[in-house]
A and B are shown apart, each in its own frame.
Chain A
């Protein structure tokens, strides 16, 4: 199978090269007759990559430990579901996965894009072909997943226990899908630049792709937080580690793009900015892979470090130079078609939102690279950690939150004072009421009050939009509330789906604010002893250590410490946390012991218990206990975001987006085809 796999990789390399060379020279020399063969190369690449992937999966599923990759990441006693996901557990498999998905996306982009953009498609195939060639060449020349060992081990190393988690089954592919699908908008941007077809048409062709990419990246990041929270055992979900930052950076620039693209659609402005954002987003997704794989920045995530990172650095520089040179030479073709007419306009609100998003991205990039920058400039390495990122991003995040409420409410072009008053009075009142209520209830953290007050304000704006829309439909069509709601959302998917996404983001913000009230303690308990911890909501948890039990499970030895939980004296079940020692099928230890956290989740807060080990072989044990407020809402916000994203992307209903506003000032009506931020 490895022979077939390697052969398929070579075929993909050749097909990709063919697409790149013929496609670019066809675009350069204006030879449209070369388009068909270029486009076919995208399908050939896709087929070859799928064959290569099947070959690796076959090796993993048949336990062919002679393949180095299979021996490194799987073992005979690994559960089947983890066998499938072991495909992307290591660097080489990740590269193959990345290349395969890109091949599939490249083919889908060809198959699904409307015929209106036919003349862009060969160049799109050339760009996706180039990126595939890069990944395949990296594999063939530096990280070949089909490499064989000179001997065949009786069993493999097994999968890192921290990756044996249902969240980890889908977290990496979601992130990868997000990263990879950015390639398609980038390919269209390059195609538009090369062909000088720089009207707003190509932007509409890629809208769904950008949304899709944003959607997967959002899910990937949220699952990453969930995984860190349940698996890493420090009670948090975001540590501002370079690897986490790397996933956030393209998300931020893409979020900016999703907003600023509406200005281009409606008003023909910001063409250069939008191209810049797409190129930056694609570069940041490659940059993310570069810093996680090269080891140039110390990260606690243990990825294999190898010279693969330098392939990425080379590729990154190449993309940057080529893309920005193209952008520069096309600069005069990208004149805006309109001018900003008022700062009290949706354009201005979106522009400010873009600046804040890019500002956040810049500060995160700056903080991540600071050790390298300070060493290069001042000769001494200085690092910044979570305090830096929180200090910078909490105020910026709060500003962004305010703009989230303002943007969708004010009119395009220009808002009158009466209009502003009509739109803002109730949401502002909601926000003030929220903050005041929390203050009266005893909340004293200024930033949290401000953030939650703004959450109230934005929630008010969203509620008002839905309320007015539903009321208008009830009046005009005589529909009942549920039907009116369904039709309202169904007929304006982009707008109301966007509001639902905003609602999801609001819930995230509320959960972030909750983390300001986290409580932690440590305790050493013998069986029968108790420890107490007070929740920020006022009640007291009383934990009684019931003892440590030991048993053997499928691929591990387990010691589990169990504690009885009482809330204000009322029994509330038990919670247990485990130490696991993974073993291979011969009972030999693989990996170091790992910890499974005990979590008791409720709407208000999570009780989070880590069994930190027994003392001198007895059942006396150390525990780290914390109460983490509003964590459940983070995962719930993720769910809301997914629903909103699906509504926004659902096929059909997007045609109206091409309509541009050129007529004079008007006040937006609820049923208007406007688009939310």
Chain B
């Protein structure tokens, strides 16, 4: 076999390997990313979604955060402006998770049959709150 062919064989193994790792990785670790509206619609349509771990991106409804320091449990409501879904989480939340307006969260977990989203992870990001405040002040 010529060197070029041998190299081509090796290269094919690497390229196919990368492709397989990616497809297999997506298949076994990919999770749905829904808005609350999509979450509720999908689950109503197909109750098996209750058992699927997924992510939801939404905003925290201001004033709904209830913290129980004793058990480190946090309850709040998330919403995309159309549909609201209650969330329950136990554990540490990042500093950016606060009662301020416009806190965007990405929660990962399952929507229980009790209608509460049981989150295993809460990521929060604070939009450009200060900038928008100034922009409003300016207008």
Which of chain A's residues 273-325 have a Cβ closer than 8 Å to chain B?
Answer: 298-305
**B138/A68 in contact, CB under 8 A:** yes
- Indicate if the CB atoms of A594 and B7 lie closer than 8 Å: no
Q: Is the CB of B69 within 8 A of A341?
A: no
> Considering the chains assembled together, what is the distance between the CA atoms of A381 and B131 in angstroms?
29
Counting CB contacts under 8 A, is A387 at the interface? Answer: yes
Q: Which residues of B contact A157 (CB under 8 A)?
A: 130, 134
User: Is the pair A622, B22 in contact by a Cβ cutoff of 8 Å?
Assistant: no
Give A553 to B92 CA distance when docked, in angstroms.
26
**Is A383's CB under 8 angstroms from B25's CB?**
no
Question: A359 contacts B128, CB within 8 Å?
Answer: no
Chain B residues whose CB sits within 8 angstroms of the CB of A381 once the complex forms: 32-34
Closest to B139 in A: A150
- Bound complex: CA A624 to CA B70 (Å): 14
Q: Which residues of B contact A304 (CB under 8 A)?
A: 128, 131
Residues of B20-57 contacting chain A, CB below 8 A: 21-22, 24-26, 28-34, 55, 57
| Complex contacts, A339 vs chain B, CB 8 Å | 3-4
Pick from B15, B22, B98, B125: contact of A302, CB under 8 Å: B125
Tell which of A300, A348, A594 touches B123, judged by Cβ atoms closer than 8 Å. A300
Asked whether, in the complex, the Cβ of A616 is within 8 Å of the Cβ of B69, the reply is yes
A342 and B10 within 8 A (CB): no
The answer to whether A392 touches B22, judged by C-beta atoms less than 8 angstroms apart, is yes
Q: In this assembly, does B61 line the interface, its C-beta being within 8 Å of a C-beta of chain A?
A: no
Given contacts A340-B7, A383-B31, A391-B25, contact A72 B92 (CB under 8 A): no
- Cβ B15 vs Cβ A592 within 8 A: no
Partner of B30, one of A68, A388, A615, A616: A388
Q: A232-B94, A388-B30 are in contact. Are A305 and B128 (CB under 8 A)?
A: yes
Decide: A348 and B25 in contact? CB cutoff 8 A.
Answer: no
Residues of B near A355 (CB, < 8 A) are 11, 14-15
Listed stretches A102-110, A166-174, A363-371; interface member: A363-371
On chain A, the residues within 8 Å of B33 by CB distance are 298, 371, 381-383
Q: CA–CA, A248 to B2, complex, Å? A: 36
B91 adjacent to A388 (CB under 8 Å)? no
Docked-complex contact B95 and A391, CB < 8 angstroms:
no
Q: Nearest chain-B residue to A68 (Cβ)? A: B134
Give the size of the chain A interface in residues (CB under 8 angstroms): 66
- Which chain A residues (88-131) contact chain B, with CB distance < 8 Å? 90
Report the separation of the CA atoms of residues A610 and B93 in the bound assembly, to the nearest whole angstrom: 11
* Beta-carbon contact of B3 and A340 below 8 Å: yes
Q: Is the CB of B123 within 8 A of A72?
A: no
Render B95-126 as a binary contact track against A, CB cut-off 8 A, 1 for contact.
11010100000100000000000000001111
The verdict on A404 contacting chain B, using a C-beta distance below 8 Å, is: no
B96 touches which of A302, A352, A374, A387 (Cβ 8 Å):
A302
In angstroms, Cα B103 to Cα A300, docked, is 11
Given A299-B125, A340-B3: A613 and B69 within 8 A (CB)? yes
Residue from B17, B70, B100 in contact with A592 in the complex, judged by beta carbons closer than 8 Å: B100
B127 in the interface, Cβ–Cβ < 8 Å? yes
A522–B73 CA distance with the chains assembled, in angstroms: 13
Judge whether A150 and B138 touch: CB under 8 Å: yes
A387, B29: Cβ atoms closer than 8 Å: yes
A302-B128, A382-B31, A522-B91 in contact; A395/B21 too (CB < 8 A)?
A: yes
Let me know if B21 and A396 touch, CB within 8 A: yes
Number of interface residues of B (CB under 8 A): 46
Chain A residue at minimal CB-CB distance from B121:
A385
**Contact code string A569-599 (vs B, CB < 8 Å = 1, else 0):** 0000000000000000000000011110000
Q: Does A420 contact B (CB under 8 A)?
A: no
* A612 contacts B7, C-beta separation under 8 Å: no
Provide the bound-state CA to CA distance between A8 and B95, in Å. Answer: 40
- Please report the C-alpha to C-alpha distance between residue A424 and residue B126 in the assembled complex, in whole angstroms: 53
In the complex the two chains form, what is the Cα distance from A327 to B99 in whole Å? 53
* B residues in contact with A384, CB < 8 Å: 25-26, 29-31
Contact across chains for A622 and B69 when beta carbons are under 8 A apart: yes
**Distance between Cα atoms of A34 and B28 in the complex (Å):** 59
Which chain A residues border B91 with CB–CB below 8 Å?
A: 522
How many angstroms from the CA of A247 to the CA of B138 in the assembled complex? 35
One digit per residue, 1 when the CB lies within 8 angstroms of any chain B CB and 0 when it does not, for chain A 224-237 equals: 00000000111000
**Which of B31, B95, B125, B138 lies in contact with A385, CB distance below 8 A?**
B31
Asked whether, in the complex, the Cβ of A302 is within 8 Å of the Cβ of B127, the reply is yes
A90 to B128, CA, bound (A): 10
Given contacts A149-B138, A300-B123, contact A343 B10 (CB under 8 A): yes
Contacts of B34 in A (CB 8 A): 381
Min CB gap A91→B, angstroms? 9
| Docked complex Cα distance between A384 and B57 (Å) | 14
Residue among A342, A355, A595 with the highest chain B CB neighbour number at 10 A:
A355
Q: Is residue A331 contacting chain B, with contact meaning CB distance below 8 A? A: no
User: Across the two chains, which residue of chain B brings its CB closest to A151?
Assistant: B137
A481 within 8 Å of B (CB atoms): no
In the complex, the answer to whether B30 meets A359 with C-beta atoms within 8 Å is no
Q: Which of A218-270 contact B (CB under 8 A)?
A: 232-234
* Chain B residues in 8 Å Cβ range of A300: 94, 96, 106, 123-125
Known: A359-B18, A392-B22, A594-B95. A343 touches B100 (CB 8 A): no
Name which of B94, B127, B130, B134 has the most chain A CB atoms within 10 A of its CB.
Answer: B130
A582 to chain B, nearest CB (A): 11
Is the Cβ of B3 less than 8 Å from the Cβ of A342? yes
One of B7, B25, B95 near A388 (C-beta < 8 A): B25
Least distance between A362 CB and chain B CB atoms (Å): 7
A322 to B123, CA, bound (A): 40
Establish whether residues B7 and A351, one from each chain, have CB atoms under 8 Å apart when the complex forms.
yes
Instruction: For B126, list chain A residues within 8 Å (CB).
Output: 302, 592
Given the known inter-chain contacts A352-B10, A355-B14, A392-B25, please indicate yes or no for A622 contacting B72, CB distance below 8 A.
yes
A455 is an interface residue with CB less than 8 A from chain B: no
Given A298-B106, A304-B131; A593-B92 close (CB under 8 Å)? no
Out of B6, B31, B123, name the residue touching A343 (CB < 8 Å): B6
Q: Knowing A71-B134, A391-B25 are in contact, say whether A595-B95 is a contact too (CB < 8 A).
A: yes
Q: Which residue of A lies closest to B31 (CB)?
A: A383
Distance, CA A595 to CA B97, complexed state (A): 12
Q: Using a CB–CB distance below 8 Å, which chain B residues touch chain A? A: 3-4, 6-7, 10-11, 14-15, 17-18, 21-22, 24-26, 28-34, 55, 57, 69-70, 72, 91-92, 94-96, 98, 100, 106, 123-128, 130-131, 134, 137-138
9 further A-B contacts with Cβ under 8 Å, apart from A343-B3, A385-B29, are A300-B96, A300-B124, A343-B7, A355-B15, A367-B25, A384-B31, A399-B14, A524-B70, A592-B100
* A and B contact pairs by CB, cutoff 8 A, 15 listed: A162-B95, A233-B94, A234-B94, A299-B125, A302-B96, A343-B10, A359-B15, A363-B25, A366-B22, A370-B26, A381-B32, A381-B33, A391-B29, A594-B95, A624-B92
